[in-house]
Structure 1
Amino acid sequence: MAKFTFKMPDIGEGIAEAEIVQWHKAVGDTVNEDEEFVDMMTDKATVPMESPVTGKIVEIAGAEGDMVSIGSMLVVIEVEGEAPEDAPEDEAPAPKAEVVEERIEVETPDASDADHALAVDPEPEPLPAPTPAPHPQQHAKVLATPAVRARAKDLGVDLSHVKPAEDGRIRHGDLDAFLSYNGGYGAAAPARKDEEIKVIGMRRRIAENMAASKRNIPHFSYVEECDVTALEELRAQLNANRGDKPKLTILPLLITAICKTLPDFPMINARYDDEAGVVTRYGSVNMGMAAQTDAGLMVPVIKDAQAKNLWQLANEIARLAEAARTGKAKADEMQGGTLTVTSLGPLGGVATTPVINRPEVAIIGPNRIIERPMFVPDGNGGERIEKRKLMNISISCDHRVVDGWDAASFIQAVRKLIESPALILVS
Structure 2
Amino acid sequence: MAEHTIKMPDVGEGVAEAELVEWHVKVGDLVREDAVLAAVMTDKATVEIPSPVEGKVSWLGAEIGETVAVGSAIVRIETAGDATSAPMDDGEGEAPIAEGMAPEGEKLPPPPTQKSEAAAPSKPVAKSEPAKAPSRTATNGSTGAPRPEGEKPLASPAVRLRAKEAGIDLRQVPGTGPAGRITHEDIDHFLRQGSQPVATGLRPDTSVEEVKVVGLRRRIAEKMALAKSRIPHITYVEEIDVTALEELRAKLNAEKRPDRAKLTLLPFLVRAMVRAIAEQPQLNAIYDDEAGIIHRHGGVHVGIAAQTPSGLVVPVLRHAEARDLWDCAAEINRLAEVSKAGTATREELSGSTITITSLGAMGGVVTTPVINHPEVAIVGVNKMMMRPVWDGSQFIPRKMMNLSSSFDHRVIDGWDAAVFIQRIKTLLETPALIFVGD
Same fold, judged at TM 0.5 (above):
yes
2:402 equivalent in structure 1 = 392
1:308 equivalent in structure 2 = 323
Q: Does residue 1:235 correspond to 2:249, yes or no?
A: yes
Map 1:373-392 → 2, pairs under 5 A: 373-376=388-391, 383-392=393-402
How far the C-alpha of 1:55 sits from its partner, in A, is 7.0
1:421 equivalent in structure 2 = 431
Map 1:155-174 → 2, pairs under 5 A: none
1:48 and 1:2 map into 2 onto residues whose CA distance is: 22
2:9 and 2:235 map into 1 onto residues whose CA distance is: 43
2:341 and 2:420 map into 1 onto residues whose CA distance is: 36
Q: What percentage of aligned pairs have identical amino acids?
A: 47
2:3 and 2:250 map into 1 onto residues whose CA distance is: 68
1:198 and 1:351 map into 2 onto residues whose CA distance is: 31
- Aligned pair count reads 322
Map 1:71-82 → 2, pairs under 5 A: 72-76=72-76
| 3-state secondary structure, aligned to 1:65 | coil
Q: Does residue 1:60 correspond to 2:48, yes or no?
A: no
How far the C-alpha of 1:411 sits from its partner, in A, is 0.7
- Change beyond 3 A, Cα 1:390–1:124: farther
Q: CA RMSD in A?
A: 3.5
Paired residues of 2:43 and 2:346 also in contact (CA < 8 A): no
Match of 2:346 among 331, 334, 340: 331
1:135 equivalent in structure 2 = none
How far the C-alpha of 1:219 sits from its partner, in A, is 1.0
| 3-state secondary structure, aligned to 1:209 | helix
2:295 and 2:322 map into 1 onto residues whose CA distance is: 20
1:284 and 1:61 map into 2 onto residues whose CA distance is: 46
Q: Does residue 1:404 correspond to 2:414, yes or no?
A: yes
Match of 1:191 among 181, 198, 204: 204
Paired residues of 2:301 and 2:317 also in contact (CA < 8 A): yes
**Structure 2: which amino acid aligns with 1:336?**
G
Map 1:21-420 → 2, pairs under 5 A: 21-24=21-24, 26-27=26-27, 37-49=37-49, 58-69=58-69, 72-76=72-76, 189-192=202-205, 193-244=207-258, 245-376=260-391, 383-420=393-430
- Change beyond 3 A, Cα 1:188–1:215: farther
| 3-state secondary structure, aligned to 1:260 | helix
1:103 equivalent in structure 2 = none
1:124 and 1:78 map into 2 onto residues whose CA distance is: 31
| 3-state secondary structure, aligned to 1:368 | strand
How far the C-alpha of 1:190 sits from its partner, in A, is 3.5
Paired residues of 1:25 and 1:31 also in contact (CA < 8 A): no
- Change beyond 3 A, Cα 1:49–1:369: same
How far the C-alpha of 1:242 sits from its partner, in A, is 2.7
1:18 equivalent in structure 2 = 18
- Change beyond 3 A, Cα 1:367–1:276: same
How far the C-alpha of 1:11 sits from its partner, in A, is 6.0
> Which deviations, in whole Å up to 9, do the C-alpha atoms of 1:82-106 show, x marking residues without a partner?
xxxxxxxxxxxxxxxxxxxxxxxxx
Paired residues of 1:373 and 1:388 also in contact (CA < 8 A): yes
Paired residues of 1:289 and 1:299 also in contact (CA < 8 A): yes
Paired residues of 2:317 and 2:332 also in contact (CA < 8 A): yes
**Structure 1: which amino acid aligns with 2:344?**
A
- Change beyond 3 A, Cα 1:214–1:71: farther
2:146 equivalent in structure 1 = none
- Change beyond 3 A, Cα 1:298–1:37: same
Paired residues of 2:308 and 2:339 also in contact (CA < 8 A): no
- Change beyond 3 A, Cα 1:208–1:228: same
> Which deviations, in whole Å up to 9, do the C-alpha atoms of 1:375-401 show, x marking residues without a partner?
337xxxxx5543222111111111222
Structure 1 unaligned spans of 5+: 82-122, 132-181, 378-382
- Change beyond 3 A, Cα 1:4–1:16: closer
> Which deviations, in whole Å up to 9, do the C-alpha atoms of 1:112-135 show, x marking residues without a partner?
xxxxxxxxxxx999698xx9xxxx
Paired residues of 2:366 and 2:382 also in contact (CA < 8 A): yes
1:312 and 1:20 map into 2 onto residues whose CA distance is: 38
Paired residues of 1:21 and 1:64 also in contact (CA < 8 A): yes
The 10-residue stretch of structure 1 (409-418 or 263-272) with the greater mean CA deviation from structure 2: 263-272
Paired residues of 2:302 and 2:318 also in contact (CA < 8 A): yes
- Change beyond 3 A, Cα 1:8–1:325: closer
The 10-residue stretch of structure 1 (293-302 or 348-357) with the greater mean CA deviation from structure 2: 293-302
How far the C-alpha of 1:296 sits from its partner, in A, is 2.8
**Structure 2: which amino acid aligns with 1:306?**
E
Q: Could you say which structure has the greater relative contact order, defined with CA pairs below 8 angstroms and 6 or more residues apart?
A: 1
Rg larger in structure: 2
- Change beyond 3 A, Cα 1:324–1:384: same
- Change beyond 3 A, Cα 1:361–1:8: farther
- Change beyond 3 A, Cα 1:387–1:5: closer
Paired residues of 1:342 and 1:365 also in contact (CA < 8 A): yes
- Change beyond 3 A, Cα 1:314–1:71: same
Paired residues of 1:8 and 1:68 also in contact (CA < 8 A): no
**Structure 2: which amino acid aligns with 1:190?**
R
2:53 and 2:375 map into 1 onto residues whose CA distance is: 46
2:137 equivalent in structure 1 = none
> Which deviations, in whole Å up to 9, do the C-alpha atoms of 1:353-388 show, x marking residues without a partner?
1111112221110111222232337xxxxx554322
State the TM-score, normalizing by the size of structure 1.
0.65
1:116 equivalent in structure 2 = none
How far the C-alpha of 1:420 sits from its partner, in A, is 1.1
